Structure 1
Amino acid sequence: MIAYLSGIIKEKNPSSVVIDVNGIGYLVQISLNTYSALPDVGESLSIHTHYSVNVDVRSGQSQHQLFGFLDEQEKELFLLLSSVSGVSNNTARMILSTLSVNQVTEAIISGDVGSIKSVKGIGPKLAQKIITELQDKVMKDDALSKNYDSANNTIKNETLSALVALGFNKSAAQKVVDNLLKQHTNWSVEELVKQSIKQLS
């Protein structure tokens, strides 16, 4: 098992990166989110990894792949997603290339089928299956749920600050924002402010 790699980036593209570790080049499959955060070619990199072996039932041939993640949360979510029947490693990577870790976590916790099925190749049945099988697991995962709570708190605080700056009572605004967040977990600060003003006016 290869848990992580530390070396020099020799090549990189949106789907993979080649890392030179003491003269050996490792080809690592990555998501677009990880790619966007990579240093430049020639710079050093430490990356979390997951070594995967898939055996083709028909041919009996095995495929060995190394997947890389810049943080533990993305790796943990990748492993959870690929544990769902019907979600291959490449499908899990596609999900994490289309949506951020926080967006996937939020969609699973809130039961947002629409966000999951917005990923290419995922229909409503598979999206619902992902949510059904992973909702409890994600909520019990301290790192993922903490990230989700942190993101929600940031949105809530920014919304409250905007409403108070507009002259609304903070206590009244907080009740309205809390209720809206329970019903619409994926709303932006702008949308929350707009809808809060309607209810507070």
Structure 2
Amino acid sequence: MIDYIKGTIVDLTPAELILENNGIGYRILISLQTYQVLENKKEATVYIYHYLREDMELYYGFATKDERELFELLISVSGIGVNSARMMLSSLSAEEIRHAILSEDIARIKSVKGIGLKSAQRMVLELKDKIVKGEGSDSSELFGGSSRNEVVEEATRALIMLGFTKQAVTKAIQAVLKAKPDAKVEQIIKSALQMM
């Protein structure tokens, strides 16, 4: 599975990116948010969501892991496909989407082309708790400061790879960091494992 592609920007439009890596040009579908981050750059690292169906194989690319995570949350909602999720991320910022879901602002969500009343209601219903509990939000907000980001992300990845849900991992790591704010990766993982 591809996590990210790092390479040279060959072509960039508000909807699509051609990224060359080792002589291979990857056609990657992007949101307007990602386009704005990559504009005027020659090189880029793009986080990938690999969309695979019997008749189609596409790469969706994101400038940040946070945006990709939000995209994955959006497509987990019944009735929201990859195109609707990309349209949402092009119409609203990640923060605006989170705020609209948390404040149950159906009108704001419905203002996105292709999102109807039922889809907007389902999105609020299915994602409100996940966003409150930290999924799809920047871990620096959750764990207090970007200096801890790498340590927290590494611990989170390790625990998820051990088979725990992101929700359970986030909760355990928050508890560990409350008790030991300067804990190292190994300490965070060990303490979190004892809690789960």
TM-score normalised by the chain length of structure 2? 0.68
Which residue does 1:22 correspond to in 2? 22
Q: Is the 8 A contact 1:138 1:145 kept in 2?
A: no
Give 3-state SS (helix, strand or coil) of 2:38's partner: coil
- State the identity %: 40
Residue 143 of structure 1: CA displacement?
6.0
2:41 aligned with 1:48? no
Taking the aligned partners of 1:82 and 1:64, their CA distance within structure 2 comes to 16
Q: 1:120 aligns with which of 106, 113, 116?
A: 113
Q: Is the 8 A contact 1:139 1:145 kept in 2?
A: no
Taking the aligned partners of 1:145 and 1:36, their CA distance within structure 2 comes to 19
Q: Is the 8 A contact 1:19 1:27 kept in 2?
A: yes
- Once the two structures are superposed, the pairs formed by residues 41-190 of structure 1 within 5 Å of their partners are 43-55=42-54, 62-141=55-134, 144=137
Offset from partner CA, 1:157-198 (integer Å, 9 cap, x none): xxxxxxxxxxxxxxxxxxxxxxxxxxxxxxxxxxxxxxxxxx
Offset from partner CA, 1:119-159 (integer Å, 9 cap, x none): 0011111101011001111111266176788xxxxxxxxxx
Alpha-carbon RMSD: 2.0
Taking the aligned partners of 1:85 and 1:105, their CA distance within structure 2 comes to 18
- Between the two proteins, the alignment pairs up a number of residues equal to 143
Query: Which segments of structure 1 move beyond 3 Å, counting only runs of 4 or more?
Result: 145-149
Shift in CA distance, 121/143, structure 1 to aligned 2, threshold 3 Å: closer
Taking the aligned partners of 1:81 and 1:142, their CA distance within structure 2 comes to 11
Which residue does 2:176 correspond to in 1? none
Taking the aligned partners of 1:12 and 1:129, their CA distance within structure 2 comes to 34
Q: Which has the higher mean CA deviation after the structures are superposed, 12-21 or 32-41?
A: 32-41
Structure 1 unaligned blocks of 5 or more: 56-61, 150-201
2:31 aligned with 1:31? yes
Structure 2 unaligned blocks of 5 or more: 143-196
Larger radius of gyration: 1
The residue identity in structure 1 corresponding to 2:133 is: K
The residue identity in structure 2 corresponding to 1:19 is: L
Give 3-state SS (helix, strand or coil) of 1:144's partner: coil
Shift in CA distance, 146/19, structure 1 to aligned 2, threshold 3 Å: closer
Taking the aligned partners of 2:137 and 2:23, their CA distance within structure 1 comes to 35
